[in-house]
Amino acid sequence: MELYKPAEDRYEKMQYRRCGKSGIKLPMISLGLWHNFGDEADFDNAAEILRTAFDHGITHFDLANNYGPPYGTAEKNFGKIFERDFKAYRDELIISTKAGWDMWPGPYGNFGSRKYLVASLDQSLQRMGLDYVDIFYHHRPDPETPLEETMGALDQIVRQGKALYVGISQYSAEETEKAAAILKELRTPFLIHQPRYNMMDRWVENGLLNSLQKTGLGSIAFSPLEQGILTNKYLNGIPEDSRAAKKGTYLDKNKVTPEVVKKIKALHEIARERNQSLAQMAVAWLLKDERVTSVLVGVSKSTQLLDNIQALKNTGFSKEELKKIDDILGY
C-alpha cells in the first residue's frame, strides 16, 4: 500500500460528544475491530478501513484481547497497521482494549481477577506495540470475583501508566453504580460503559442509561446494527460474504427469520422516507439520545463505514417516526 497521509480536513467531517463528565470527547461514530481484523481477514482491507475511519475524523478504535479469530490477532494486526500508518498520530487517537472473556487456558485467563486483567493488558500492549491504551475495560461482569478486586485491578493498571482511563462493559445498572462507588473512592478515572444497544435490543433503557447519567459516565453502544441485521443486507436473502453466512461468527443465520425480515423491510421503508439507508437510521436512532456518547460500528468494507458516517446528517426523529419504529419492533 502507498504511504498513508491522513486527510487534512478529517476533523471537519466528524462531530464529537463529551464522554460523561470527563475531559474526553469521542467521535459520534467509532470503529470496532471485533471482526474483519484477525488473521482470517484481508490485511489490506483492514488497513483501508482504518485509514478511511481516520480520514473521516474517527479517532477511536476499539479492540479486545480475544478479537480475531484466532484470539489476539486483531490486536496483532492492528499493531502492524498502527506502526506503519498511525504511529505519528498516536496523540490523536483513543485506543481501547478489554479483558473479561476466555483468553488463555486455565483459571487465570478468564473473568475478573487482578491476576488475569493485569497480565492480559500486558499481553495486549505487546501485541499492539503500544506503551499504553487510552481506555482499558473489564469486558463483562464476573459473578464470583469480588468487585473490589476487579476494580482494584483497573485502578492498579492506571497507576502503572498502562491505561489512561477505565471502563466496564455489559454491567447492569446496579453493578455499574457499585463499581462507580468503588472507583470514586480509589480516585480512578472511570470514563465509560460499553453496553450492547440497538433498536432491537433496548435493555439499557431499563435503568442503565439513568445510572450512567447519575454517575457522570459516558456510553458507547456496541452492535448498533444488530451485527448487520439492521441494514439492507438481509432484505432479500443471506449474501455469501455476510457475517450470517460465515462460519465461526456470533451471528447465526437462523436469526434471520421471516418475521425478522418482515420487520427490517418495514424499517427500511421508514428509513427511505427519511432519505437514509437502514444502517444510517439505526445509527441515528441511537444518537438521538445525548446519553449515548458514541456508536461503535463494525464494518467489513470501508464503503459500509462511509455509509454509516452519513447517519450524522440526520439524527432527529419525529414522534410519529419513533412510534412507527416501536410498533414494528413491538416496543
Ligand X SMILES: NC(=O)c1ccc[n+]([C@@H]2O[C@H](COP(=O)([O-])OP(=O)(O)OC[C@H]3O[C@@H](n4cnc5c(N)ncnc54)[C@H](OP(=O)(O)O)[C@@H]3O)[C@@H](O)[C@H]2O)c1
Q: Where does this chain bind ligand X (CB under 6 A)? A: 32-35, 62, 139, 169-170, 194, 222-228, 231, 233, 242-243, 279, 296-300, 304, 307-308
Strand partners, 165: 135
The span from the CA of 228 to the CA of 244, in Å, is 8
Of 33 and 271, nearer to ligand X (C-beta) is 33
The span from the CA of 152 to the CA of 147, in Å, is 8
DSSP secondary-structure letter at 220? E
Number of Cβ within 10 Å of residue 175's Cβ equals: 17
The span from the CA of 184 to the CA of 208, in Å, is 18
Going by C-alpha positions, the residue among 205, 136, 147 that lies closest to residue 176 is 147
In angstroms, the Cα distances linking 293 to 21, 74, 117, 131, 300 are 11, 24, 25, 26, 23
Going by C-alpha positions, the residue among 189, 256, 184, 193 that lies closest to residue 221 is 193
Report the nearest approach of ligand X to the CB of residue 50 (Å): 12
Of 5 and 272, nearer to ligand X (C-beta) is 272
Report the nearest approach of ligand X to the CB of residue 3 (Å): 27
DSSP secondary-structure letter at 4? P
Of 79 and 298, nearer to ligand X (C-beta) is 298
Report the nearest approach of ligand X to the CB of residue 284 (Å): 12
Grid cell of 310 as nine digits: 452519513
The span from the CA of 148 to the CA of 137, in Å, is 15
Of 236 and 318, nearer to ligand X (C-beta) is 236
Report the nearest approach of ligand X to the CB of residue 303 (Å): 8
Of 187 and 248, nearer to ligand X (C-beta) is 248
Peptide bond into 69 cis (omega under 30): yes
Report the nearest approach of ligand X to the CB of residue 298 (Å): 2
Of 57 and 167, nearer to ligand X (C-beta) is 167
Report the nearest approach of ligand X to the CB of residue 23 (Å): 23
Report the nearest approach of ligand X to the CB of residue 216 (Å): 21
Of 223 and 293, nearer to ligand X (C-beta) is 223
Q: Does residue 108 contact residue 119 with C-beta atoms inside 8 Å?
A: yes
The span from the CA of 244 to the CA of 60, in Å, is 26
Number of Cβ within 10 Å of residue 114's Cβ equals: 17
Of 240 and 320, nearer to ligand X (C-beta) is 240
Report the nearest approach of ligand X to the CB of residue 96 (Å): 8
